[in-house]
Copies of this chain bind each other. A is one copy, B any other.
Amino acid sequence: MKNFIFENPTRILFGEGMLDRLPDQIQSAGKRILLVYGMDSIRRSGLYDRLLALLEQAGKEVFELAGIAPNPRRERVAQGIEICRREKIDFILAAGGGSVIDTAKAVAAGSLYAGDYWQDLYREGKSISSALPLGVILTMPATGSEMNGITVLVDTENKIKYSYNNVLLNPRFSILEPRLTMTMPKEQVIYGTIDMMSHVFEQYFSPPDHDNLTEDLAEAILRNIRVNLDRALLDLNDYQSRSNLMWCGTMAYNGLLRNGKDGDFQAHRIEYALSGTYDIPHGAGMAIVHPNLLYHIRKKAAHKLARLAVRVFDIPALDRTEEELALAAVTAIRDYFTACGAPARLSDLGIGPEGLEEVAGKVNLIRTGYYPLEYEDVLAILRMSV
């Protein structure tokens, strides 16, 4: 196994009624709380009122940063930092999905950072020595942000997303009440689940291949997602499948699947340029880009795609060659995404072939995994995706 360092201090409170433990969790935090949330959904669902009551019960004074949209933008972070500094905020509480949590993390880091947080952290990846403590109430499982130190933001000037990762941005606690996710529209359930699967792929399809546990864990998560997404799509109110999917999303991107692996993340980089440019849902972008990227690298990743075909998609090996199995795996992934109801082409989202060179030019090449991509590769994948 390749060397690794693993650390994940986030406490997870999972299940029905866990929200009632919020006062206990923030008891030792200071008095002044910044509540970060999204659009109207937490007000409509009644979560907003429950949160205010629980925070009042805990004797906290609440400030708000509201209206965080999908594909979150730096402008809102600046407002959050300004509130934290002016109001001497002690603790940030994020109630929402990945966009809300990632914005809250940027505020947590930026508030205590003396320099230009955007340039130094998101653009140059510099380390931080402190951050405001953060807690999470998760309402949309997808990004895994509830149990990692990763934050992704859109640079509105350049229309591309950048990410930053530091263990100081791991939430102190995350409350995962599956019932809070039941109000998600079907489309978001599908996109969120594809985002989880993409996180697994980004780590699974990368060297080294040492027969280590991490590969088996990745396959376990993919198999479990298949079982439970099928069941959830038959009945979106089915608690077991929805709760199982919620935990899969957290486990897919909490660092465990990276142990002993290089990781790839080139599909994410391509999607960051796409959703930065066109403001499409991240999961929809991944559903389109990831199968095409895997098709493009299918020869160099043949051994691993063949393993996935047999172990996750139950395709019998029979007398098929490795390359045949690899192609079958790519087809199975694409077919599965389509069968779930995800878009297969950019044109399904109203995006045409014009401007793809510009999008490809914005992709922050990291040249990782089995097949490090150059500009021409990215352009070929994008053209396949129209």
Contacts and interface: CB of A to CB of B under 8 A. Distances in A.
Interface of A: 1-18, 178, 210-213, 216-217, 219-221, 223-224, 227-228, 231, 240-241, 243-244, 246-248, 251, 259-260
21 contacts: A1-B14, A1-B244, A3-B14, A3-B17, A5-B12, A6-B12, A6-B14, A7-B9, A7-B12, A8-B8, A9-B9, A210-B240, A210-B244, A211-B231, A211-B241, A212-B224, A212-B247, A213-B220, A213-B251, A216-B221, A216-B223
A303 to B, nearest CB: 16
Contact of A3 (B16, B210, B221, B248): B16
A246 B210 CA distance: 14
A128 B188 CA distance: 43
A7 to B, nearest CB: 4
A247 to B, nearest CB: 6
A240 B227 CA distance: 32
Nearest to A219: B220
Contacts of A224: 211-213, 216
Contacts of A1: 14-15, 178, 240, 243-244, 246-247
A364 to B, nearest CB: 28
Contact of A216 (B12, B15, B211, B220): B220
Nearest to A252: B213
A23 B178 CA distance: 43
A244 B3 contact: no
Nearest to A16: B3
Given A3-B16, A213-B221, A216-B223, A259 B247 contact: yes
A192 B78 CA distance: 53
* Leading 3 A-B pairs by shortest Cβ distance: A3-B15, A216-B220, A7-B11
A174 to B, nearest CB: 10
A4 B11 contact: no
A11 B170 CA distance: 14
Contacts of A13: 5
Contacts of A244: 1, 210-213
A247 B219 contact: no
Contacts of A228: 211
A248 B259 CA distance: 12
A153 to B, nearest CB: 27
A272 to B, nearest CB: 27
A15 B6 CA distance: 11
A223 B7 CA distance: 25
Nearest to A241: B211
A11 to B, nearest CB: 4
A211 B241 CA distance: 8
A220 B17 CA distance: 31
A15 B1 CA distance: 8
Nearest to A13: B5
